[in-house]
Every structure is written in C-alpha cells, then in structure tokens.
Chains A and B, each alone.
Chain A
C-alpha cells in the first residue's frame, strides 16, 4: 500500500542544472548583449510542453533561477528501470520485451517530431509500480540545450553512447536505438556494463567496436556471459545485433523496430490490456488525478507549491557566500579571472518529487459536480463559488478552489466551441482564468483554426524586414519567453505572415507590441497566435495600418477628444486650453491598444475586458487613464502634462478597467460613431449614416453627436436618464416639442458668462446632473455653440442631436406633443 500510495501521490517531479555562462562584456553583431543561455533554453523547452504520449513523461514547466540555474518540472511515473530491476531480479524475457517495445514507441514519437533523446539510460526509463506501463523521462534535455551547446556538460551517459556520438555527431535518432539496445542487453545478460572501468576506458571500448562487427558478442564475452548470449532467442539476438551495428545506417529506425515480429506477443498483451474495463487502480484514483497534468500542476502552484523551495529542501539548491564568487584577477581589458564553478554544481541528476498531498487535501471537499460541469442543463446551474466573484480579480486569480472551478468550466466550454460561444462570452465577462487565457481570447475573437497560417510565406525577404529586425529585440524584452531566440523567431514569423497576408497594409512600429500578448499566450501554437492577431486588428484597429493612415488616426483622436468632453468636460476644457492635443500623447495608446505603454501582465487584464467590447471600447480605456491622472492634469501646464505621459506613472489597472466598463455601458452607441470603424450591421433609419459626419465636423464640434434612434431608445426605456435641451424659440417649442424637454431659446441666452446660473433656468444644474444631455435645435450651429457652453460649465455627458429637431418628426410612433 505504501508503494501504491506513493505512486498515486508522486506524479510530478523537478530536476535542475546550470546553463553555460557567457564570457563577460561580449555582445552580438547588433551591439546588444548576448541572450543568457538559460533564456534560450526556456524558449526551446516550450515545444516539449506540447508533447503528450502514453510513452513519454509530459513536460510541464521550465523555471529560471539565479546565475543561470534552470529547473525542469515534468511528469514522473512509478520508479526508474534502474530501481525496478534491482527489486525484481532477474527480469523475465517477456517483461524485457514489453519494456523494449514501449521505450521504442517513445523514441518513435520523438522521431516523428524531429527530436532525439540522446540520453537513454536506465534512470530515464520509468515503470509503473506493477511494471506494466513504461515511459521515457528527461528526453528533452538535448533539444532544450540545443544539443548541449547551452550547458557546460555533455548530454547522455557515456556508457550507453553510440560510437558516432562519441565522435561528436548529434541529432541521429539511431543513436538512441543503440542506447536502448544496450540497456536491454544489460537486462537480458543480467550485467552492468563495464562497472569498474574509468570513463576514458569505456570510451575506448565503445570506439573499438568500430574495428570489427559483433559488438553484442564482444560485450557478452567481456562480462563472462557468453553462455546466456548463445542461449538467447535467435531472433532477439539478431535484432540486438542490428541495433548495435557500428554504422548507423545499418541500424533499424524506431518505426522499423516496432514492426519486428519478436514484439507480436507484446502487442497482443498491450491490446488486451487496453480493452479491459477500468483497472481497480484507476477506479480508486482521486478525481483530481484524472485531470490533465497541466491543470494539476497549475493548481499545485496555487495551493502554495514552490518548486525552488522543494529543491532547496532536498539540498539541490545551496547558496554560496558571494565573496567566493569575486574575481581573482581584474584586467583593465579582457575578461576577469573568476574561480571556476564547483563541478558538483554543474549537473546533479537527482530527481525531486513534488508531492501532491497538500493539493489533494485542499480540494478533497469539492463535490464531483465541479469536475464535470453540466453545460446544457439549466436546471443544474453552476452556482458553486458564485459568491467568490465579488472578490477583487487579483484575489480570485490566486484562490485555488475558485480557479479550479473556473478552469474546469472553461475547459468544457472550449471543448464545445464554437457551439458554446455565447456561454463562453458570458463567463468571460465574469473573469478569465489565466491558465486558459490564450484559447479563450481566440474564442472571443471567433477564431477557428483552418490551416491558413501554414500556407503563408514567412521567409521571402521584403522591404519591411529591416524594421522588424530592429523592433523585435526591443519588444517587451523583460519577458523571458519573448526575449529568447525562439521567441524572436516566432515573433518574426508572425509579423511577416501578417504583413504578407495583408498587402493593402504596411508594417507600422507598434504592430510588434500588438502581437506580443498573443505570442506570449500561444507560444506553442503559432497558428492560434496568428489568427487571434488576424481577427483582433480589424475589430479594434480597422484601417490603422494603411500606408497613409492619417485620416483614420485624426478621426479616431477627434472622437477621443469628443468622448473626453462627454465624460470629463472640465478636464477636456483644460487640455484644450493648453493645446494638449491627443496627437501628442495618445497615438502609442491606440495604435498598439496600450500594449506598448503597459507591461504584459497589465495588458492581459486590460484585454480580458477589451475582447468583450466593440471597436469603441479602447476609447473609454483612454478616458479612464485620463481620469486616474485627473487631479494632476488639471493643475499642470503643457510641459508637466507631456512629461507625465512620457513617463507614465503606475496606472491602477483594476480601476482603469472598472471605469472604462462603466463608461462603455453608459454611453449610447451612436456617440462613438466613426466613419472608419468596423461595422457589424448596416446603419438603419435614424442612425448616423456612414458618411454623415466628416472629419472637419468632428474637429469643429467639441461634443459628440447622438442619433435619433438612441434618443428614442432612451425616451422609451429610461427617460429619467435623458435631459433634452430644446434651443428653438418659445413659439416653436409651443407648437411641438418632446415631453419633459427643457426649452432654452438660443436667441435669448448670453453664453459669455460660463455659469449655468447665468441662463436663469431654475434648478437647471440639478436637472442635468447624471443624465445624458442632448442639445436639440433646427440650426446645427446653435447646438454646437450651446454644447460648448455646457462643457465649459462642467456639464457631463453633453451631446448634440444629429440632424436636428426635424429628425424627431420621423420617429414612429410619434413622440412629440403640443401645448
């Protein structure tokens, strides 16, 4: 029971090593510092996290520590072959063949992904405690270290290395076949290879195989096992001999190995096993341990799991007195001479289990329904953790029970996408679980992978390449993934693909920042990253990337100014008075949807909300930022304002998101009308027509226009939120007017004194507070001038009725009354 318990509990583990240090003061050809090798390793390791196969231990995480320490978290199974063989000597031939077959399956999967292990040895072959299931472990070290180039130690155990590897050849999967065969030979002959020889002599032995054939027989003789060699099944002996051919081309490929007739019985056994009903072991497995490992690891961290702390506990991470690292000789030119690193610190291959007991206890009280949310049964709504949704987002993101429920729910919704699109949108409005953010955003953007990315030419040189090349090493380089060589290559491909796919557009600086969040979230799925970007840009940045985008930008910024006047009239008034126009500070905001001005972790939260809104949403984010800086801006002149934005202070993202959401919901849609916006439906009667409002109108009118349709909607649904100021004469007002509107004949007002009281309308300020204030006239200029007056008086939500009073006659049913 102890062993079984230990196996169920210990399914995650960590190993650690140091990456190679660069010599000091060396830089690349572009003048930038060389990328730390551990960052390069981190980038390359991401590909391994996508490998999932029943014969490979899954990679879950790679963590960088100090001084180039690299920590790898992966799946662990039962015990190593080394340990298993010690407990069950000797292994039966049938058992050995099962192991042989399953490891070959693992190597074959690697081969299909153009990977090699190059460190196959008994420690890296794991068996379940009953010996039935076999997985390859730590097979990614060669790939993530670029064949060992990034680390100061060789990859692989010398004893099991093929001859060509000792001669420096890397990357041939048949080298793994040799290693696997040697491991099997040890089991069959019941020996340990050259246990007393020094490594240099082992190397000599292996290289000497090149002088003649018959490596297998030689090994048997050297270990006094020739009798077992002779008694071996002839087919097995021939197979092993071909695997141990000195020339790689004579060895079988893993796929060929698997088809060998000697494995027929193994195959039958494995098939029989799969067709059996759930084994008692699986039946008793806690529900949590049947979840995907990536979810288990994520929850383990939320439950307080700390990989580095576990390694420290086991003594694999030891701090050294800093004085011991001081240089011994400092030269005026050239590198300093530092004491060498202790050899023991470079590679310690001990495996540290990450125990799941705390996580299991933490979640043991959850009902089974949380694991399997019922999406299509309204009678069983998922009310679990509903009360937690009132908590701040940063707390919810750290709460393990809440995140568990959200991850399980969204995993189901994503499996059902696109049919679950509506429900997914509703749930995303509550919050987005960080673990699944990439696929969730893709779903919100209506991405459906279609293979188109693979067909786009990303490699032909273009005139844009030079600009992309200098922008990539400056794009969010504080992030380890984006600054890795793999990150750079992926970003380059994505940018080139986007530019190639849009011949009508050009690369503008800022496109790199826009792409970065999608790459960060979909690092192993370039297609999803590309299609997300592909959908995102027309939704929020329609026509922004035209070669001449000046009309689009001017319109956008003019609308931003109008909306600022709508929501923050005094601030808008002040900024205009000091000529602090948005062109001076807001272009980086809107051209990159704030991804150039905020760090990634803030962008992720901001875009969680952005994805749920339409193309006008970013404008409200901009106003929310201004609102947060309001008190400083109102007391500043031009220079202080521009300095404030050039060195943007810390914006509280939660507040920014909440404010922008409120403004977005409180603003009638037509207020945000732009000619160049992406249109989801054609305009209807009473809407503002596509070409009705030209740029010059936006620039001359401080306040936005509202459509008759929106006015009608407000009158019908929430008249208390509307204050309509009728500027026509008393006679006209008496003839026909909107009920409850306020008549202030334009001809009678004096606008020189910028106080509402000057209008001598009783209780006017109270009547306008908190409402959408619509200026209506038959003479458009009157509405414009009066709206300017209201803004100067600090009246919020002032707008102008598009097409003037006469448009109201067109509304049916009739909304107008007479005295």
Chain B
C-alpha cells in the first residue's frame, strides 16, 4: 500500500478538534474569526479578552494569529479558538482559510472611521455568502472610548445589525468596555449540544428558530 501524497497546501485549515471533556458540565469548542479593516483594533480586542491586556502600539497582524480562551456560561464550559486576521485588503484572499468552518465571527469597525464601517458591511456580505450558513456574526464598533470624535452613529450601526441578524455592541479594547460581553453574547447564541462542533459545522438543534431574517440579499 503506497503512502498517499500530501494534500494540497492551499486547502482549508482542517482544524483538529479535541474530544470534549468528561466532566459533569458540558464543554464546547468553537472556532471564531475576527475580520475588519486594518487598525480598527481587532488584535487589541482579542488581547483584552484573552489576556486582559491593552498595548497602545499593538503591532499590525500579518497573515493571522491564533489565541484561545475558555469561559463558563451557565453550566457549560465554552472554549473559543480565535483567529485574528490581517486587515489589509491585500490579505483578503487568505481570509477563507480562517473563516471556513468557523462557528462565529466578529466583524470589527472603528467608530471614528466611516470607511471601516463600509468594509465591515462587505465582510458581513461575504460571510453570509461563503461561510457556514449558521455562523453567528457579531458587529463590533471599537474605540468607543473616543466617542467624542465618533463618525459612525450608534443608531446607524445598530439598525444595520438588526436588519442583517447580527449581534451588535460598541466596544473599547482600551477600557475593556463590552469586550467580555460580546464574546459572552456570542457564546449564548451558539448551539451547545455535545459533539456538534466535532462535525466541523454546527447542527441546528430541532425546533430552534432561525435567528436570521429570510431575506438577506443585498440588491
């Protein structure tokens, strides 16, 4: 029996999933991807969540970085496996490698930067089109501590989120405002039945209502 050739390098990540814990509580693993324009604070957001740190001069992300964080919600242990991606448009072609098979995504924009909000909308459209159908998407308006010089109005973003079935929060990685909350909100929204995530895509539990409006097409 011949050794099979190595598979093509450009295919998906094929993330290995570890077995669930055997403890009394349920435990789940979810792959989550951060997307958004450059310098909106994606890395600062995840660093605040995972390590409780904020660096004023956080280095730019090239390619992607990977971090994990475990939280407890009700009686379930939830482990997030987080891909923090490069924001520059040039790196766009690498993004599917990270969001394919992801159960959740946080699309980040900077409330001081209208272009970053437009870019966030583009990411939402792409996720709806190409990511898992049941992916949970949260929209994060970061740098909320600079609200005195905001450009993107809260109401505008909130309305967009509601129209597209997204979670929405304004956050500040600097102050920590809403950082844990947005991850908690995602965790609450994700299905947590045992073994679901081992399949690579979530299986919607029977009887769970769809959370998204039926008409999401952008005309």
Contact = CB atoms under 8 A, between A and B. Distances in A.
Interface of A: 29, 31-33, 466-467, 470-471, 473-475, 477-478, 483, 506-510, 512-513, 547-548, 550, 554, 557-558, 561, 576, 578-579, 581-585, 587-588, 591-592, 596, 637-639, 642-643, 645-647, 696, 699-702, 750-752, 754, 784-785, 788-789, 792
B56 interface: yes
A263 B151 CA distance: 65
Contacts of A752: 1
B182 interface: no
B72 interface: no
B38 A470 contact: yes
22 contacts: A29-B149, A32-B56, A474-B57, A477-B57, A509-B91, A558-B9, A576-B6, A578-B16, A579-B15, A584-B64, A585-B63, A588-B62, A638-B15, A638-B16, A639-B16, A646-B66, A696-B8, A699-B9, A699-B10, A700-B6, A785-B2, A792-B3
Contact of A579 (B14, B93, B146): B14
Contacts of A754: 3
Contact of B10 (A583, A637, A639, A751): A583
Contacts of A788: 2-3, 5-6
B14 to A, nearest CB: 4
Nearest to A477: B57
B15 to A, nearest CB: 6
A751 B4 CA distance: 11
Given A591-B62, A646-B67, A554 B1 contact: no
Given A579-B13, A583-B10, A643 B3 contact: no
Contacts of B59: 474-475, 596
B39 A474 contact: yes
Given A470-B39, A473-B57, A554 B10 contact: yes
A583 B81 contact: no
A353 B97 CA distance: 62
Contacts of A33: 56
B63 A588 contact: yes
Given A579-B14, A587-B63, A751-B1, A32 B9 contact: no
A274 B67 CA distance: 69
Contact of A583 (B1, B61, B97): B97
Contact of B86 (A32, A475, A509, A789): A509
B149 to A, nearest CB: 8
Contacts, number: 128
A759 to B, nearest CB: 14
Interface residues of B, number: 42
Contact of B38 (A467, A582, A702, A784): A467
Contacts of B61: 509
Nearest to A550: B93
Nearest 6 pairs between A and B by C-beta? Answer: A587-B63, A470-B39, A579-B14, A788-B3, A477-B57, A588-B62
Contacts of B68: 639, 643
Contacts of A576: 6
Contacts of B9: 554, 557-558, 561, 581-583, 699
Contact of A701 (B5, B16, B56): B5
A643 B67 contact: yes
B90 interface: yes
A22 to B, nearest CB: 14
Interface in B37-87: 38-39, 56-68, 81, 86
B100 interface: no
Given A579-B14, A701-B5, A510 B62 contact: yes
Q: Interface on chain B toward A: helix, strand, loop, or mixed SS?
A: loop
Nearest to B40: A470
Contact of B88 (A467, A475, A792): A467
A173 B27 CA distance: 74
Interface in B7-44: 8-10, 13-16, 18, 38-39
Contacts of B203: none
B143 interface: yes
A649 to B, nearest CB: 15
Contacts of B146: 31
Contacts of A696: 8
Name the residue in A550, A584, A587, A591 with the highest tally of chain B Cβ atoms < 10 Å from its Cβ: A584
A700 B3 CA distance: 12
Contacts of B39: 470-471, 474
Nearest to B16: A638
A679 B64 CA distance: 31
A185 B5 CA distance: 91
Contacts of B62: 509-510, 513, 587-588, 591-592, 596
A478 B55 CA distance: 11
A582 B13 CA distance: 10
Contacts of A646: 65-67
B18 A639 contact: yes
A482 to B, nearest CB: 11
A474 B57 CA distance: 5
Contacts of B64: 584
Interface string B88-116: 10110110010000000000000010010
A750 B1 CA distance: 7
Nearest to B84: A646
B90 A506 contact: yes
Contacts of A510: 62
A639 B70 CA distance: 13
Nearest to A555: B9
A701 B39 CA distance: 39
Contacts of A750: 1
Contacts of A554: 9-10
A470 B112 CA distance: 13
A584 B143 contact: no
A754 B97 CA distance: 32
Contacts of A473: 57
Contacts of B86: 509
A579 B14 CA distance: 6
Contacts of A638: 15-16
Contacts of A789: 3
A51 to B, nearest CB: 31
A28 B121 CA distance: 28
B57 A509 contact: no
B62 to A, nearest CB: 4
Contacts of B91: 508-509
Contacts of A512: 60
Contact of A32 (B13, B57, B81): B57
A351 B62 CA distance: 48
A509 B88 contact: yes
B81 A639 contact: yes
Contacts of A583: 9-10, 63, 94, 97
B6 A702 contact: yes
B8 A584 contact: no
B60 to A, nearest CB: 5
Contacts of A557: 9
